[in-house]
Amino acid sequence: MKILIVEDYGPLRLSLAKRLTEAGFVVQHTADGNEASWLLQEDTFALAVLDIMLPGRSGLDLLCDIRSRETDMAVLLTTARDAIEDRVQGLDLGADDYLVKPFALDEAMARVRALLRRRFGRSNPILRIGDLSIDTVAREATRAGQRIELTAKEFALLELLALRTGEIVSRGDVWEQLYDFNYERGASNVVDVFISNLRKKVDAPGWTPLIHTRRGQGYVLQPRSV
């Protein structure tokens, strides 16, 4: 799942991005409301953390844009302690929750997990492919009941393949999921290394292979190669 953080206070933005990345989420972040508006048009996010007071467009403006589209994106506002009117307006405009600054990162993480469960709990957050189970909220994967230890980027890659089970996922698609800049020819080797490392964990000896390479096209996750 991808999360967008829009916060102009650098230390807070970077600390929250680090915690979310460590938890297995793919994170993009910016300090500018105008850049955030562009990111929201160019990419799809499961959740956005929006500060209300921003350079360029405000968090409330961004919230209005999000709610004007057909999207299930969850929105968590961050506000100053004395900005009661902003919090009320934000909730009226469709924010799912808010945090009052300063806040503890543990509280922010709990709010994020709760919002994702609330937003996506109507559909099963567990993806199952054969004996592989992927919990997209808890950010955990198991195979035949055994937990698979994955890095944040490995989990994001596995989630991408699982969401498109049976479809060929190109190297470019994989690159865009893992990084925030354009795919270039030299990036192919990096993607291959990530796939190789993921395959060693998901398709360990004794398990039926699930990750298959389609030469010249990309990769596909499915119970058996066809």
pLDDT for 86-145, tens place per residue?
888 889 999 999 999 989 999 999 899 888 877 766 456 788 898 999 988 788 999 989
**Per the structure, how many domains does the chain have?**
2
Place of tokens 């996010």: 45
Q: Per the domain annotation, does 145 fall within a domain?
A: yes
Same domain, 134 and 93: no
**Would residue 90 be called left, alpha or beta, if left means φ above 0 and alpha means ψ between -120 and 50 degrees?**
alpha
Q: Per the domain annotation, does 138 fall within a domain?
A: yes
Is residue 66 packed enough to be buried (19+ CB in 10 Å), middle (13-18) or exposed (0-12)?
buried
Q: Per the domain annotation, does 66 fall within a domain?
A: yes
pLDDT of amino acid 184 = 56
Same domain, 17 and 111: yes
- pLDDT tens, position by position, 65-78: 999 987 889 999 99
Q: Per the domain annotation, does 111 fall within a domain?
A: yes
Q: Per the domain annotation, does 226 fall within a domain?
A: no
End residue of a domain, out of 120, 155, 173: 120
End residue of a domain, out of 60, 87, 120: 120
Give the containing element (helix H, strand E) for 199: helix 187-202
Same domain, 97 and 151: no
pLDDT of amino acid 123 = 55
Same domain, 79 and 132: no
Reported confidence tier of residue 83, pLDDT bands at 50, 70, 90: confident
Q: Per the domain annotation, does 104 fall within a domain?
A: yes
Same domain, 106 and 198: no
48 phi and psi angles, rounded to 5 deg: -125, 135
Q: Per the domain annotation, does 91 fall within a domain?
A: yes
Same domain, 113 and 178: no
Same domain, 109 and 58: yes
Neighbours of 92 (CB within 10 A): 8
Is residue 59's pLDDT more than 90? yes
Q: Are the C-beta atoms of 91 and 110 separated by less than 8 Å?
A: no
Same domain, 36 and 75: yes
CATH number at residue 130: 1.10.10.10
pLDDT of amino acid 127 = 86
End residue of a domain, out of 74, 96, 120: 120
Same domain, 110 and 173: no
Is residue 26's pLDDT more than 60? yes
- The overall pTM is greater than 0.75: no
- Structural domain including 162 reads 126-221
- pLDDT tens, position by position, 132-185: 999 887 889 999 899 999 988 898 899 889 988 888 888 888 887 776 555 555
Same domain, 115 and 130: no
Name the DSSP letter for residue 169.
Answer: B
Which residues does 106 contact at the CB level (< 8 Å), separation at least 6?
A: none
Which residues does 18 contact at the CB level (< 8 Å), separation at least 6?
A: none
pLDDT of amino acid 119 = 73
Same domain, 116 and 142: no
Is residue 186's pLDDT more than 60? no
Q: Per the domain annotation, does 148 fall within a domain?
A: yes
pLDDT of amino acid 124 = 62
Same domain, 141 and 192: yes
